[in-house]
């Protein structure tokens, strides 16, 4: 089942209130978004030019310290939808539990998908998927282990949607083989998920095929202007990483005082083991705090981070849960 966070509408329909009343922590999106600069009139009125797309690719390559080819996409999700078309359907292996769109997109295109528990179990697959760091348990796989794995699979997809605060984990900075594809999300770290922008990093014929599948205008003019500013803003990035780490530690402290055990996470979200996840979700919801639970575990509960002004609401909700 393709269940996701960000389903606040369902909570409101069942429990009432308005979006302004609710604190939606069901996603792992930075709650303090990058300040959007003034957008030029051309960005709205003119199709993105080749020079605009080149400027975006250069900004992303610099920000991600990669020599791989950068292919802009309409979110990392856009790349996930295209990956199944890169080869004839065969056996795909996905290291799980993880973001369920990888397996769903592959199955929709005729791939035989197996969900496995370790990187070693991916070996021999025609296509292998690793989310690093993983969503929702924060599992990390070292770049060396991933590069070693690449020699034993047909295509290796490494989804680095949550890697921005931990760039040392990225294989995009390494000398990757042509069967490696790295996916990067813009919206999560920069807090602008509605912009629908992401990137695939690849090389050789795989990069050519991805670019062909993405088409000439995969992203909008406003997205290009905003992203070029944000990707170059090293000061904002450093301050944001520091704040996210501090806030993640603050949330862990609150959870620990309530008897919850940290399963894992990233600086953008935390997953806890609780006695009864559906019951805890309902208790938090009574304080208009929406969380994420999972169909494969009745004890895992994931929380994103709140904006600075909403910590009191979250503290009260956790204290009463």
Which band of pLDDT confidence, cut at 50, 70 and 90, is reported for residue 3?
confident
Q: Where are the domains of the chain?
A: 8-33+235-319, 41-232
Helix axes 277-285, 311-320, angle to 10 degrees: 130
pLDDT in tens, 144-191: 999 999 999 999 999 999 999 999 999 999 999 999 999 999 999 999
Tokens read off for 212 = 């062909």
What pLDDT is attached to residue 321?
87
State how far the Cα of 272 lies from the Cα of 264, in Å rounded to an integer. Answer: 7
For 224-261, the DSSP string reads HHHHHHHHT-HHHHHHHHHHHHHHHHHHHHHHHHTT-E
Say what the pTM is.
0.97
Q: 8-33+235-319: which CATH number, 1.10.3720.10, 3.40.50.11540, 3.40.50.1000, 3.90.1150.10?
A: 3.90.1150.10
C-alpha triplet 237, 25, 33: angle, nearest 5°: 30
Q: Does residue 1 have a pLDDT over 80? A: no
What would the mean pLDDT of 22-39 be, rounded to a whole number? Answer: 97
Say if CB 184 and CB 199 are below 8 A apart. Answer: yes
Say if CB 171 and CB 197 are below 8 A apart. Answer: no
What would the mean pLDDT of 271-281 be, rounded to a whole number? Answer: 98
Instruction: Give the fold, CATH level 3, of 41-232.
Output: 3.40.640
Whether omega for the bond prior to residue 97 falls within 30 degrees of 0, making it cis, is yes
Pairing of strands 297-304, 292-294: antiparallel
For the chain, the average pLDDT equals 97
């Amino acid at each position: 089942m393709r269940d996701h966070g960000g389903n606040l509408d369902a909570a409101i329909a069942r429990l009432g209130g308005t979006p302004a009343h609710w604190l939606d922590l069901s996603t792992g999106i930075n709650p303090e978004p990058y300040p959007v600069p003034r957008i030029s009139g051309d960005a709205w009125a003119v199709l993105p030019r080749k020079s605009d797309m080149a400027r975006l690719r250069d900004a992303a390559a610099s920000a991600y310290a990669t020599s791989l080819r950068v292919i802009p996409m309409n979110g990392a999700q856009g790349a996930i939808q295209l990956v199944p078309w890169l080869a004839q359907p065969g056996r795909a292996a996905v290291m799980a539990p993880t973001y369920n769109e990888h397996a769903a997109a592959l199955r929709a295109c005729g791939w035989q998908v197996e969900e496995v528990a370790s990187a070693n179990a991916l070996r021999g697959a025609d296509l292998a998927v690793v989310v690093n760091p993983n969503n929702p348990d924060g599992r990390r796989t070292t770049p060396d282990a991933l590069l070693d794995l690449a020699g034993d699979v047909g295509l290796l997809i490494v989804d680095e949607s949550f890697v921005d605060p931990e760039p040392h984990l990225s294989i995009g900075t390494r000398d990757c083989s042509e069967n490696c594809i790295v996916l990067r999300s813009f919206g999560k770290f920069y807090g602008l998920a509605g912009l629908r922008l992401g990137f695939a990093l690849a090389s050789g014929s795989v990069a050519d095929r991805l670019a062909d599948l993405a088409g000439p205008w995969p992203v909008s003019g406003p997205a290009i202007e905003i992203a070029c500013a944000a990707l170059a803003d090293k000061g904002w990035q450093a301050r944001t990483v520091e704040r996210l780490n501090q806030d993640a530690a603050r949330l862990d402290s609150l959870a620990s005082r309530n008897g919850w055990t940290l399963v894992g996470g990233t600086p953008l979200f935390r997953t806890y083991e609780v006695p009864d996840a559906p019951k805890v979700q309902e208790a938090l919801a009574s304080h208009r705090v929406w969380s994420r639970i999972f169909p494969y575990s009745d004890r895992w509960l994931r929380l994103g981070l709140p904006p600075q002004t909403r910590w009191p609401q979250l503290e009260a909700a956790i204290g009463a849960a």
